[in-house]
């Protein structure tokens, strides 16, 4: 039943054509009976939109289909397999890159070459520095280094001690003021006790201190006089097979001659090592003015040793590595 | 659906679907794309589509593709109501049809689609619900709201004139 409370819904249903013919007639009669709602009724009727027949879809043929059309699911049935095979491109293997060798890389070989270059350069610098320091240290006419030829035990055993005469001794040992004159108490001692057996002196340095020596790894031992007139070596030298020094003069009329033997410091007794250290200290004190070059040389060697040559297993894989300054370089 | 039935659908419904989409999108090329896509989908699914329901199937496909298209391009601002600042009094309104088109364009896409499906194609509430995915009650409510908005627009315009 249409009333003034629900007439609007009936109007909308009427416009939407959702009412039956009887209900549509009821609505039309109610509008006629209520002219104050006539305007609203007409307004709703204008809201119906009529289709625009002039608007059409152009090219409608594009939408038409035939069963024989090629589609996405049947296009393979229409392909000529043989012709399709001709469309496949094959690579031309005759075309090659002309300079392929320039593309190869070997990272490991380059690293080794760099290492060798570094080592060679360091060795050259070291050699130049050592040479320069040594020739600057010694004036002309003096030997740059006291040559210290190692003496083999066999040679020592075979060679008979040459007789030492005062002339030869004077020629070989010109008298000079000793750098360290022995104290008076020591000079009063018997000759063969002035230097204890086995006391080591630097190479070429006799009891009188007439010569200096720059090496410390060679011990000079004062032999004891044999009652038979020969030179008797101490027990240490005998045990080491070094009974006599080679090439050094000996004389029975002189203070006990000093024999020069090559005894490695490691093989010496503790007493010998202690004496050797005393001598080294005495030499260092005595050669104060001239010790600058030596300390320089030693400092240089220390620096070089710290810089190069340290090989260690730095990692757990056992790879050998060389430490150059702060850089760690693998050897292999 | 056979090939012949499909082609009959093209002849019968292509223009209708095109009008419906064009009224919503107001872009001819976009409307054509949507129609072509809808018929393409109908052709692919022709084995499972009943010929009697082909029209509803076409409108359903076209409607959803149109919604996707609108969401993609965002060319139309969705509005539930007319804007208060909408003043068209200074525009020369010569025909009621143009005024009605203007009012239609101010509806949101759902309301507009419901109006067009109802007025253009005469679908019932239930059919419109099937096409748009709404139930019958929703279609009725939304459609009545759209009608009242269109009427209010026309009434307000007459008052201004």
ipTM rounded to 2 decimals: 0.74
332 residues of chain A, pLDDT tens digit each: 888 888 988 999 999 989 999 999 999 999 999 999 888 888 888 888 888 888 888 888 888 877 666 666 666 666 666 677 777 887 777 887 777 777 777 666 666 667 788 899 999 999 999 999 888 755 555 554 545 555 555 555 554 555 555 555 555 555 555 555 544 444 444 444 444 444 444 444 444 444 444 444 444 444 444 444 444 444 444 444 444 444 444 444 444 444 455 666 666 677 777 777 777 777 776 665 555 556 677 888 887 777 766 555 555 566 666 666 666 666 65
Contact B17, A43 (CB under 8 A): no
Contact A224, A195 (CB under 8 A): no
Contact B10, B39 (CB under 8 A): yes
The pair of three-digit structure tokens given for residue A240, joined into one six-digit string: 């080491």
For residue A211, the model assigns a pLDDT of 46
Q: How many CB atoms lie within 10 A of CB A197?
A: 18
Q: Which of A8, A47, A48 to mutate to test the interface with B (most CBs of B within 10 A)?
A: A47
Q: Distance between CA atoms of B64 and B21, rounded to whole angstroms?
A: 10
Sign of the torsion formed by the C-alpha atoms of A128, A129, A131 and A132: positive
| Partner B, chain A 10-69, Cβ-Cβ below 8 Å | 12, 15-18, 40, 43-44, 46-52, 55-58, 60, 62-67
The pair of three-digit structure tokens given for residue B70, joined into one six-digit string: 């609108």
* Residues 6 or more apart in contact with residue A254 via CB below 8 angstroms: A164, A166, A169
Option in B6, B16, B147 nearest A12 (CB): B147
For residue B142, the model assigns a pLDDT of 94
Residues of B in contact with A50 (CB under 8 A): 119
SS (H, E, C) A242-290: CCCCCCCCCCCCCCCCCEEECCCHHHCCHHHHHHHHHHHHHHHHHCCCC
For residue B143, the model assigns a pLDDT of 92
Residue B158 in this model has a pLDDT that exceeds 70: no
Helix or strand or coil: residue A322? strand
Residue of A nearest to B118 (CA): A16
Distance from the Cα of B36 to chain A's closest Cα (Å) equals 7
Instruction: Give tens-digit pLDDT for B23-82.
Output: 888 888 888 899 989 888 888 888 888 888 888 999 999 999 998 888 887 655 555 444
Instruction: Give tens-digit pLDDT for B83-139.
Output: 444 444 444 445 677 888 888 888 988 999 999 999 988 899 999 999 999 999 999
Residues of A in contact with B124 (CB under 8 A): 18
* Chain centroid to CA A194: 55
Contact A212, A254 (CB under 8 A): no
For residue A234, the model assigns a pLDDT of 46
Distance from the Cα of A49 to chain B's closest Cα (Å) equals 6
Quick check: A9 contacting B, CB < 8 Å?
A: yes
Residue of B nearest to A14 (CA): B144
């Amino acid at each position: 039943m249409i009333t003034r409370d629900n007439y609007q819904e009936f109007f909308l249903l009427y416009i939407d054509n959702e009412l039956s013919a009887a209900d549509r007639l009821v609505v039309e009669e109610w509008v006629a009976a209520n002219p104050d709602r006539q305007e609203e009724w007409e307004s709703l009727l204008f809201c119906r939109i009529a289709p625009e027949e002039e608007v059409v879809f152009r090219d409608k043929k594009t939408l038409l289909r035939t069963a024989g059309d090629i589609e996405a699911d049947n296009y393979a049935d229409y392909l000529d397999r043989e012709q399709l095979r001709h469309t496949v491109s094959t690579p031309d293997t005759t075309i090659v890159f002309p300079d392929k060798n320039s593309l190869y890389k070997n990272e490991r070989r380059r690293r080794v070459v760099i290492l060798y270059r570094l080592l060679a350069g360091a060795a050259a610098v070291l050699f130049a520095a050592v040479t320069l320091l040594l020739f600057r240290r010694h004036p002309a006419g003096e030997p740059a280094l006291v040559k210290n030829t190692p003496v083999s035990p066999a040679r020592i055993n075979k060679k008979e001690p040459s007789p030492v005469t005062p002339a030869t001794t004077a020629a070989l040992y010109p008298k000079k003021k000793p750098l360290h004159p022995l104290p008076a108490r020591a000079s009063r001692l018997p000759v063969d006790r002035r230097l204890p057996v086995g006391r080591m002196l630097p190479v070429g340095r006799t009891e009188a201190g007439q010569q200096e020596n720059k090496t410390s790894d060679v011990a000079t031992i004062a032999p004891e006089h044999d009652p038979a007139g020969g030179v008797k070596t101490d027990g240490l030298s005998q045990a080491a097979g070094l009974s006599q020094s080679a090439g050094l003069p000996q004389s029975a009329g002189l203070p006990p001659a000093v024999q020069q033997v090559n005894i490695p410091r490691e093989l010496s007794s503790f007493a010998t090592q202690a004496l050797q250290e005393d001598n080294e200290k005495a030499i260092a004190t005595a050669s104060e003015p001239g010790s600058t070059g030596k300390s320089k040389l030693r400092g240089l060697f220390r620096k070089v040793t710290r810089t190069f040559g340290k090989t260690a297993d730095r990692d757990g894989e056992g790879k050998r590595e060389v430490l150059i300054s702060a850089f760690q370089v693998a050897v292999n | 659906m056979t090939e012949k039935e499909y082609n009959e659908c093209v002849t019968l419904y292509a223009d209708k679907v095109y009008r419906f989409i064009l009224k919503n999108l107001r872009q001819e090329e976009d409307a054509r794309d949507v129609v072509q896509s809808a018929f393409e989908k109908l052709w692919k699914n022709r084995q499972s589509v009943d010929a009697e329901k082909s029209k509803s199937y076409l409108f359903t496909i076209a409607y959803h593709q149109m919604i996707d298209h609108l969401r993609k391009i965002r060319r139309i601002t969705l509005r539930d109501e007319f804007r208060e600042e909408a003043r068209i009094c200074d525009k020369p309104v010569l025909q009621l049809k143009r005024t009605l088109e203007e009012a239609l364009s101010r509806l949101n896409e759902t309301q507009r689609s419901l109006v067009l499906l109802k007025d253009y194609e005469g679908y019932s509430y239930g059919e419109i619900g099937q096409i748009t995915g709404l139930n019958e009650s929703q279609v009725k409510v939304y459609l009545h709201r759209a009608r009242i908005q269109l009427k209010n627009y026309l009434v307000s315009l007459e008052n201004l004139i």
